[in-house]
Amino acid sequence: MHRIKLLTAVLALSLTAAACGGDSDAGEFGLVSEGTLTVCTDVPYPPMEFEDSSAPGGFDGFDMELARTIAGDLDLEFAVVTPGWEAITSGLAMETGQCDISAASITITPEREEGVDFTNSYFSAEQSLFVAADSSATGAGDLGKIAVQSGTTGEIYATENFSNELVAFEDAGALYLALEAGEVDGVVTDQIGNQGYADENPGVGKVIATYDTQELYGMAVKEEGSEALLEAVNASLKKFQDDGTYDTIFDKWFSA
């Protein structure tokens, strides 16, 4: 994939020796379903998360495989729910017991940290501009309306940097449907999402610009009451970095 950066430095976590993932007692995590790590996500967002009936839990992608591997490391089963982006980023999904943790390509921001606690970051991202395959545009200045997803860093970036009319959608998939229907002229979202859609749908569209926003993804848990789970997930991430598991998962989904 285009300009994806592996975060070996970011994953160098400071953890106590007692917080080794596989050694944690699942009973202390306060899970919404005993013996199962229930994960919130937002789809479709290939190659990070998307529905796949053949995959464990019915979802697959980089985030899903990483979360699934963490669940296995904690001796837990794996389940996925999709409560919506706002419920995930606000923390409502975790606070109301819909899931234990969210894995949905969530950029860590100070505003979001007011409602959730994040794991250590595990992925670096940037924003990008996606247009129809036959478009001659070379940048946002050549376009009219641009689609963004409500409550995302893509919306924030476009609002702060573009003079275009922005059309906000709740669902990530709706951005591309609007583009294909001619309702908008471009889509701004994370580069990984735009490039993933281009790869999954050859001939539909293309990325014409990327913006180095230096964003970092983290998984999210509720702000209070998930301290043990947060520590255990961070320990699993650290272990996966050290033993090559993270690299194996990364290469599977981003082997240009």
pLDDT at residue 27, rounded to an integer: 63
**Residue 64: pLDDT above 70?**
yes
Asked if the domains 21-122+218-253 and 126-214 are classified in one and the same CATH topology, the answer is: yes
Q: What is the architecture, at CATH level 2, of domain 21-122+218-253?
A: 3-Layer(aba) Sandwich (3.40)
Q: In this model, does residue 212 exceed pLDDT 90?
A: yes
pLDDT(244) > 70:
yes
Query: What number of residues does the chain have?
Result: 256
Residue 83: cis peptide before it, omega within 30 degrees of 0 = no
Give me 115's structure tokens: 């409602």
Q: What is the pTM of this model?
A: 0.86
In the chain, where the domains are located:
21-122+218-253, 126-214
Share above pLDDT 70 across residues of the chain, in percent, rounded to a whole number: 89
User: DSSP readout, 35-50?
Assistant: TEEEEE--S-BTTTBE
Is CATH 3.40.190.10 correct for 126-214? yes
Per-residue pLDDT, 49: 97
Answer positive or negative: Cα dihedral of 80, 85, 87, 91: positive
Q: For residue 215, what are the contacts with CB-CB under 8 A and spacing of at least 6?
A: 107, 108, 124, 125, 126, 127, 153, 190
Q: In what order do the strands lie in the sheet with 146-149?
A: 166-169, 146-149, 186-190, 123-132, 205-217
How many CB atoms lie under 10 A from the CB of residue 151? 18
pLDDT of residue 28: 81
* pLDDT confidence of residue 19: 39
Mean pLDDT, rounded, of the chain: 91
Residue with the larger pLDDT of the pair 4 and 227: 227
**Which pLDDT does position 255 carry in this prediction?**
81
pLDDT value at residue 256 = 59
Tell me the sheet residues that pair with 79. 38
pLDDT band at 25 (very low <50, low <70, confident <90, very high): very low
> Looking at the predicted structure, is the pLDDT value of residue 20 above 70?
no
